[in-house]
Structure 1
Amino acid sequence: MGYSRLFYSIIGTVVHLWDFSAESRINVALSGTAFQSSTSNGGEAERAIDGNSDPEWTHQSCTHTAEEKPWWRLQLTGVFRVSEIEVTNRNVLRERLNGVEILIGNSPVNNGNDNPRCSIIYDVPGSLTQTVQCRGMEGRFINFYLSCATATILTLCEVKVYGELVPPPPSITIQAMERNVTLVGKRLCWSDALFYCRDYHWDLLSIRGPEDQEMVDELVASAPFPLTRQLWVGLRRSITGSSWFWMSRDPMDFTQWDAASHHSSPCGGVSSVERSTWRQSSCEEHLDFICVTGPTEGDNKVHFYSSTRQKQTQCV
């Protein structure tokens, strides 16, 4: 069946090529949006980014939660490379800040509380405001999380975030059979590509049949930016066997493997220079990749563990 633009339409192309040189001392928290696990005594989440560092509770510029393992989250206007964060505590009940984890990342899972950790903070005697160095960690979510501290209420009087906006990579998106498929011009290893797709879309692409393959071929042919010779998709091989599967758990009813493929690596992708051709590649190779936005209910994607993404919580 020939490709038809009646079935697929390009709905967006975003190519960003500018140089960015932001002033890192701008408090980017002021333009973000604040959320928290619960609100008590009128201590709304937005109070921590109102530009007022007043530590006196009665002056109505501090947040207040009321539940076990409380959290406060700042959603930035984009992905930022964070250099440092300033936190102002209350002038009384200062112990509520003891053991708070500061997390930075792009995953919305568990309200953002599964993202990597920048630091654990404590009340600093003699200083209501302390500065945490995050050394360029990237993310659009910044969380303050009391996962295992003794206090059950989280109070923040001001949070300031300093960093630079990370320009989004070039991408092109098409709509195909009720899915949005996005080709991303960002060269990552297979696991980082998987996490990128799961953070910003839904998953790495699964190719379920000839129509999906035809769509991929046309998407690659229409890319307005240069591509790597291979593109990561959600192909993964069992470490202990020879069977391949999709990370989305879609059935493997259709394959287009290159006859010369020896499957020495557990990671697979599609060729950008030969139509309808799949090949395995070293999982550490940095390639462009294809994401998909699919179902939002009944998510049973294959779990993938990475030590660089796993937040190690240490409760004492």
Structure 2
Amino acid sequence: SSLSSLRVTTLLIVFLKVTDTHFKGSLLIFDQCSPAEIPLVLIKQNKTWREALRYCRKNHVDLVSVENETVQNWVEIIAKNASTDNVWVGLRHTCTMGFWFWVSGNSICYQNWAPGNGTGVEDCSKGERTGGVQTGSMKWISLLEYKNLNFICSTN
């Protein structure tokens, strides 16, 4: 066998930079020397879910949609720097239809719910339910949208 047939298909490199209110990072995935960047920004400002959504859409692209394990791993790295116990992500529950969805418009295939969250009937009597990530366990949780939390925006 020849060494020329040996190749590395995936390499993850993380660059992190912290400022007072932003935690920026980039995850580069090299597959046959073609980089694909998945940038996220942790905003260390306390906002309601709707305020966070507006902020991300105005200043970046959107609240992050954690649609696969790769994005979940990146969220786990960046969420450790949050100043709140939970961080907002782009996860929303529709009380009228009874299901969760991503603000990107995609349905939920990959899941990382904390026990007792997201898989049963949601109590919508006190307001709309939205999704956050616990900064300790890194599991997804169902929260009332008016809590004030740090949040993660996608930038592409």
TM-score > 0.5, shorter chain as reference: yes
Question: What is the identity percentage for the equivalent residue pairs of Structure 1 and Structure 2?
Answer: 27
Contact conserved, 1:8 with 1:174, CA < 8 A, in 2? no
* Cα distance between partner residues in 2 of 1:8 and 1:14: 20
Matched, 1:182 2:44: no
Contact conserved, 2:40 with 2:154, CA < 8 A, in 1? yes
Matched, 1:269 2:122: no
* Cα distance between partner residues in 1 of 2:93 and 2:133: 15
Q: Of the two structures, which has the highest relative contact order with CA contacts closer than 8 Å and spacing of 6 or more?
A: 2
| Greater Rg over alpha carbons, structure | 1
- Aligned partner of 2:151 among 271, 289, 295: 289
Matched, 1:256 2:112: yes
TM-score normalized by the length of structure 1: 0.39
Q: Secondary structure at the match of 1:228?
A: coil
Choose between structure 1 and 2: higher strand proportion: 2
- Aligned partner of 1:278 among 135, 140, 147: 140
Partner amino acid, structure 2, of 1:216: V
Over the residues paired in the alignment, what is the CA RMSD in angstroms? 1.7
Shift of 1:230: 1.0
* Cα distance between partner residues in 2 of 1:8 and 1:212: 14
Q: Secondary structure at the match of 2:83?
A: coil
2:23 is matched with 172
- Aligned partner of 2:89 among 224, 233, 241: 233
Shift of 1:11: 4.4
**Cα shift readout 1:193-232 (whole Å, capped 9, x = no counterpart):** 00000011000000011111111111123x2xx5211110
2:103 is matched with 247
TM-score normalized by the length of structure 2: 0.77
* Cα distance between partner residues in 1 of 2:88 and 2:22: 14
Report how many residues are paired. 131
**Cα shift readout 1:232-264 (whole Å, capped 9, x = no counterpart):** 000011131221111012342111111222633
**Structure 2 unaligned spans of 5+:** 1-10, 28-35
